[in-house]
């Protein structure tokens, strides 16, 4: 193995990896100044990072906050599960759309529907007027014939 | 259950906080995420499998929270700013406590690492997890973890050399 290959082993050894080829690396390090310097640098860097990070003091655990968050999650989980919320919204939206569709085609507020009703009423009035006019004309004709004495038997007062 | 979570915090609280602080680079956010990590641990305690190590389980929760936080924030613009100014300005009382300049610069140099390399480096340095354990936490092959750790070290070394910290 050359230095480049040993350096991978040296990094693993410095990082405390259980599978690192420690014996082989140590043997190489004993005779290679460049790799020893590399190991020193890596160790220094990792120590510096470890020192800096371990100096960060963790704030105390606020059990009340943890409990509150935990309770919030429990309530949410048991009372309003996510799938139930999604299903509810979907059903509500579907019902709304269905009602809207039905209303658009059968509802009284539909302008198209109102026009149809008005047209039907107009037609009905027309037929009523026409029937009344025909009846009136028939009665006038009958009156003329009575005046002229040309009445049919069914209209005579005589027995 | 509370005694269990308290014990978990005493054993791993500092490491989880350091990891979160290293990931999100904001003490207040890290503190909030730490409380959230333990709240989730408490909520998921029933589903905790005894075969998993409590530390790797906790770090998995913490890592997911940190990544969600980072994604929601996305302030990667600060990655390329001058390390000395970051370390000098500090502004974070937690960082200032008992950290020599070199360690502060190393901490600041972590900022230049991408998230994938940073999380591997932090889990290795803070908690001393093996590549296999880290692979379990972040859900990728062991070889990938090893490669990311090596690249993280190389990048940190080059960054610090540029800043005159290492030769």
Question: Is the whole-model pTM more than 0.80?
Answer: no
Tens-place pLDDT, residues A69-124: 666 654 444 445 566 777 888 888 888 888 877 766 665 555 666 677 777 777 77
Query: Does any CB of chain B come closer than 8 Å to the CB of residue A29?
Result: no
Q: Within a 10 A sphere around the Cβ of A131, how many other Cβ atoms?
A: 10
ipTM for the whole complex:
0.72
Please give the share of chain B, as a percent, with pLDDT higher than 90: 31
Nearest by CB to B98, which of A11, A55, A62?
A: A55
pLDDT at A70: 62
The pLDDT of residue A158? 45
pLDDT cut 90: percent of chain A above it: 1
Is B43 in contact with A74 (Cβ distance < 8 A)?
Answer: yes
- Confidence at B147, pLDDT banded by 50, 70, 90: very high
Say yes or no to pLDDT of A134 above 90. Answer: no
Given B38, B125, B131, which is nearest A50 (Cβ)? B125
What is residue A110's predicted lDDT score, i.e. its pLDDT? 58
pLDDT of residue A144: 81
Tell whether B153 lies on the interface with A, counting CB pairs under 8 A: yes
* Chain B residues within an 8 Å CB radius of A17: 130-131
Longest dimension (CA), chain B: 51
Asked if B20 reaches chain A (Cβ–Cβ under 8 Å), the answer is no
Burial class (CB in 10 A: 0-12, 13-18, 19+), B153: buried
Across the interface, whether the CB atoms of A53 and B126 are under 8 A apart is answered yes
How far apart CA B157 and CA B167 sit, in angstroms, is: 9
Query: Does A40 contact chain B (CB < 8 Å)?
Result: no
Query: With 60 as the cut, is the pLDDT of residue A132 above it?
Result: yes
| Closest C-alpha to B105, from B128, B89, B86 | B86
CA angle B13, B124, B156 (to 5 degrees): 115
Alpha helices by DSSP H, listed for B44-114, are 54-73, 83-89, 93-96, 101-109
Per-residue pLDDT reduced to its tens digit, B100-136: 677 778 878 888 888 899 999 999 998 889 999 999 9
Task: Spell out the domains of chain B, with CATH numbers in brackets.
Answer: 2-162 (1.20.140.160)
Instruction: Note the pLDDT tens digit of each residue in B27-62.
Output: 888 988 998 998 888 887 776 666 677 888 889 999
Residues A28/A60, Cβ–Cβ less than 8 Å: no
């Amino acid at each position: 193995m050359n230095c480049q290959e040993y350096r991978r082993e040296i990094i693993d050894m410095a990082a405390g990896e259980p599978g690192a080829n420690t014996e082989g690396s140590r043997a190489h390090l004993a005779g290679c100044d460049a790799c020893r310097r590399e190991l020193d640098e890596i160790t220094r860097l990792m120590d510096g990072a470890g020192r800096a990070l371990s100096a960060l003091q963790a704030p105390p655990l606020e059990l009340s906050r943890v409990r509150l968050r935990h309770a919030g999650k429990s309530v949410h989980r048991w009372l309003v599960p996510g799938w139930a919320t999604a299903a509810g919204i979907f059903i509500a939206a579907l019902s709304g759309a269905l009602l809207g569709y039905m209303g658009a085609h059968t509802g009284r507020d539909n302008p198209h529907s109102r026009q149809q009703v008005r047209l039907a009423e107009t037609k009905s009035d027309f037929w009523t007027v026409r029937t009344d006019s025909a009846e009136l004309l028939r009665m006038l004709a009958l009156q003329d014939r009575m005046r002229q004495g040309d009445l049919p038997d069914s209209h005579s007062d005589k027995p | 259950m509370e005694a269990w979570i308290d014990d978990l915090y005493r054993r791993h609280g500092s490491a989880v906080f350091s990891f979160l602080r290293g990931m999100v680079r904001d003490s207040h956010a890290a503190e909030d995420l730490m409380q959230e990590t333990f709240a989730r641990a408490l909520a998921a305690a029933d589903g905790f499998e005894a075969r998993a190590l409590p530390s790797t389980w906790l770090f998995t929760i913490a890592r997911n929270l940190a990544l969600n936080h980072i994604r929601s924030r996305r302030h990667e613009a600060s990655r390329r700013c001058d390390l000395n100014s970051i370390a000098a300005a500090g502004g974070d009382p937690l960082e200032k406590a008992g950290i020599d300049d070199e360690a502060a610069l190393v901490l600041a140099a972590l900022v230049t690492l991408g998230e994938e390399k940073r999380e591997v480096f932090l889990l290795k340095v803070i908690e001393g997890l093996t590549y296999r354990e880290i692979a379990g936490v972040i859900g990728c092959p062991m070889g990938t973890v090893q490669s990311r750790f090596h690249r993280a070290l190389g990048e940190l070394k080059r960054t610090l050399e540029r800043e005159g910290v290492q030769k």
